Amino acid sequence: MLKTLLMAGGLAMLASAASAQGMVRSTDLSCAQAARLIAEKGAVVMATSPTLYDRYVRDLSFCDYDMQLKPEWVPTRDNPQCFIGYICYEPSRGGGRSGG
């Protein structure tokens, strides 16, 4: 039993590390590539720095029913402020991040 739990825990840690390494980084893409990725996939979790990431969406259909859209600009390989799409936010919780 303990061996099974240890193995499951180890596999979970490996899966977590692999998914973190596989995250798309906005600074590895051109502005056009980043915007196209979100337009094609609809929703993408993207890192914008070594310690910051968010979920970017194409439109409101990728948000929960009580959420709204906020436009987002991120740094890319060729543009420090590239418009790539939106984030979903809950207006009842303060309206998203500061600055907008």
The answer to whether residue 36 scores a pLDDT higher than 90 is: yes
Judged against a pLDDT cut of 70, whether residue 52 lies above it is answered with: yes
18 part of a folded domain: no
pLDDT of residue 21: 55
Picking from 39, 38, 11, 4, the residue whose alpha carbon sits closest to that of residue 24 is 38
Task: Please give the structure tokens belonging to residue 78.
Answer: 């060729």
Does 10 reside within a domain? no
Average pLDDT over residues 5-26: 57
Whether 19 is in a domain gets the answer: no
Of the chain, the percentage scoring pLDDT greater than 70 comes to 72
Considering the domain boundaries, does residue 8 fall inside one?
no
Residue 59 C-alpha from the chain's centroid: 14
Note whether residue 12 is domain-resident.
Answer: no
Domain contains 55: yes
pLDDT at 29 over 80: yes
Closest CA to 47 of 21, 14, 15: 21
pTM: 0.71
Domain assignment present for residue 3? The answer is: no
- Residues sharing a CB contact under 8 Å with residue 91, sequence separation 6 or more, in sequence order: 67, 68
Residue 62 domain boundaries: 24-93
Q: Is pLDDT at 99 greater than 70 in this prediction?
A: no
The structural domain count of the chain equals 1
Question: 72, exposed or middle or buried, with CB in 10 Å at 0-12, 13-18, 19+?
Answer: buried
Q: Is residue 51 part of a domain?
A: yes
